[in-house]
Structure 1
């Protein structure tokens, strides 16, 4: 258990949890917005580098929670159970004024259930995607939190009809700065020759994801080298998977530019002509930056078999789901092959009609992600948390 420092009597303590890189960024923005409104707020909990920059002393390393997949998680169950017990004990000892859990439903929802008898208000930030699969699970949620903050506009109506107090706060990708990059700066910083074609590769932020996609990406690059020798692969990575990416790409036919700095990532987006990315928030980042893309993913075959039987939405790429149509290719499982991916990349680089059609569709998708009243998503989320902290939970619109 982390060392506890006595708080002033006027201070509020918020216990906050993020379990992966995207949640860490979300948590850091929320912490900053909360402190801007109430400097007396203090934080405890679990987070990564971004949240630690905001003053959090993480109870244990966030990377211990960064795992996904129905099969992949099995070897980690005992360790995850121990971390869950540790988090529960810390909350019980600290008795915070409020608990905020961010995404990572496998861990976060178990934590919320375990502390339900503590009498501490709870907020879950980023709605579980039960609207996509296993919709019956929504019946388990009443009583698990006092308020649910969601990122997607259709989620508020979905959860509200099940009697769950839910507020749409806007999608944080709009605060990411992904559209602010400088292509010239990226070329200069990394010594790239004029005319080099930058290809963004985003294999995932979890340690269980990257090893499945990186070998396929490496073999794809070998094929591209035959007729597109000027392609430069760029891999933006989080600290959680940086060592894994270095190891997995050591023998690639083209050594990638591995980017760890956020601004450098955005500069890479500005320089890019195409991207291959996993499904999820990364598709929205690339859309905001106007990077044409294809989505690909590969998980354990048993995980894929089970997921296909449960998924109830027509698309897995967030941009496609929000658009209601396939604006970017989805190359999943059996289609996640070097030759298929290479053909998709060639088309993105060489067919301006295809690339421009994607960019136009991205604008419509992003417009629908703006928060209520034009507020920044982190500000809307912070106000909802402070309302609950003050005992004035808002009614859903």
Structure 2
């Protein structure tokens, strides 16, 4: 007679892991078959960068989603429009069967036949579907730019395939720039994400029942951005080492899309255990509420293994919050080494079931020093006034860096003689 006993947590974990492995294997097989064919159908553009007086830009991306790639698309559009560029937005969420997560709208509309430049805030693997939804002829008639972040020293196959038909690449960090330049001679320009905090919700501590004088550390991430890469288990570990016997210290992990990754969610819940001082909030929050959580924190912690940029880290710095972050990859561009707690890290081979990274044999990323991260947290706890003073200097450092590399300056550079000659040479080839 079949047992009516409800499966325990261990059974759930095993089933979740097996399901994930099957999914990754099937997705990799599909990508292996699909990628070369679909990318080969996309024509290579042969158009010079438009003159500024005639430039009509369309920003293509997930404008109505809360994920980082959606944030980057919105920041791009808002920054260019604020600088006086003609900007249209194309939300491709429906093309990818994504339900809107944010109430979003764009104030202007440019006719399709007037658009002569597109900036794609999508991963290279997403480009074929987006291009086909726009139309190959329309794609071929415009100057096409990929805004791409990447986090390891090797590029996936689909990124290499997409480089062929993109006219130029914008990247958020020197780390990503150096990786792409190993694979192409096309323009690869550094444009960090604009850091715009915007509205900040108040009284988040009251909502979470955390006292005004208690110590609060926070971390914000999406399960969809690779659990191993974001490394929240290390944040929990560092917090526990720093505050094993401190009752008035709290850690809030603000995540999203955890239900889509049940195995990883269960691992994180198991690491947290029954601790009343560590809280996992897996939900879609409006941006002002997320900013409010960070703003009311005494420290923001990111012990990532790699970052293409690290937007939540930059937002914490912009809010004047002391930061503890891995000394590795994109965030090192804007983290002041003298006033940010940069955690040393060794190199290790990438080990994850995430499909974007799984096929990268030999790729490397960081393994942060958990003990040093714990010491950084304890130092902020012991002397919060000194930590705040360093955070003010860290903010000034980041602002100076971001001011040097902007979307308008990238548009000017693409319009320069060198970029135009590049496009003309291709047209004559």
Same fold (TM over 0.5): yes
**How far does the alpha carbon of each residue in 1:8-49 deviate from its partner, in whole angstroms, 9 at most, with x for none?**
xxx978473579943321212333566786878463657886
Secondary structure of 1:369's aligned partner: helix
- Aligned equivalent of 1:369: 401
- Deviation larger for 20-29 or 266-275: 20-29
- Aligned equivalent of 2:197: 176
Secondary structure of 1:141's aligned partner: coil
2:291 maps to 1:266: yes
1:215 to 213, 233, 240: 233
Change (3 A) 1:196 1:248: farther
- Deviation larger for 267-276 or 17-26: 17-26
1:150 to 184, 190, 206: 190
Name the TM-score, length of structure 2 as normaliser.
0.55
- Aligned equivalent of 1:198: 216
1:25, 1:51 within 8 Å by CA — same for their partners in 2? no
**Distance in 2 of aligned mates of 1:131 and 1:276:** 22
- Aligned equivalent of 1:289: 319
**Distance in 2 of aligned mates of 1:211 and 1:139:** 23
1:276 to 295, 298, 301: 301
- Aligned equivalent of 1:103: 148
Q: Residue 322 of structure 1: CA displacement?
A: 5.7
1:249, 1:256 within 8 Å by CA — same for their partners in 2? no
- Aligned equivalent of 1:124: 169
2:175, 2:329 within 8 Å by CA — same for their partners in 1? no
- Aligned equivalent of 2:90: 43
Q: Residue 267 of structure 1: CA displacement?
A: 1.0
Q: Residue 51 of structure 1: CA displacement?
A: 9.3
Q: Residue 128 of structure 1: CA displacement?
A: 6.1
Instruction: Kindly name which structure, 1 or 2, has the bigger radius of gyration based on alpha carbons.
Output: 2
2:378 to 340, 346, 351: 346
**Distance in 2 of aligned mates of 1:321 and 1:30:** 18
**Distance in 2 of aligned mates of 1:238 and 1:63:** 20
1:273, 1:292 within 8 Å by CA — same for their partners in 2? yes
**Distance in 2 of aligned mates of 1:139 and 1:224:** 41
Q: Which runs of 5+ in 2 are unaligned?
A: 1-37, 39-54, 110-119, 348-366, 419-429
- Aligned equivalent of 2:117: none
Name the TM-score, length of structure 1 as normaliser.
0.59
Q: How many residues in Structure 1 have an aligned counterpart in Structure 2?
A: 309
- Aligned equivalent of 2:279: 256
Q: Residue 346 of structure 1: CA displacement?
A: 1.4
**Distance in 1 of aligned mates of 2:318 and 2:342:** 17
Change (3 A) 1:181 1:210: farther
2:53 maps to 1:53: no
**Distance in 2 of aligned mates of 1:44 and 1:98:** 19
2:222, 2:257 within 8 Å by CA — same for their partners in 1? no
2:300, 2:313 within 8 Å by CA — same for their partners in 1? no
2:411 to 380, 384, 392: 384
Q: Residue 202 of structure 1: CA displacement?
A: 4.0
Q: Residue 327 of structure 1: CA displacement?
A: 3.8
**Distance in 2 of aligned mates of 1:204 and 1:172:** 20
- Aligned equivalent of 1:231: 249
Change (3 A) 1:52 1:138: farther
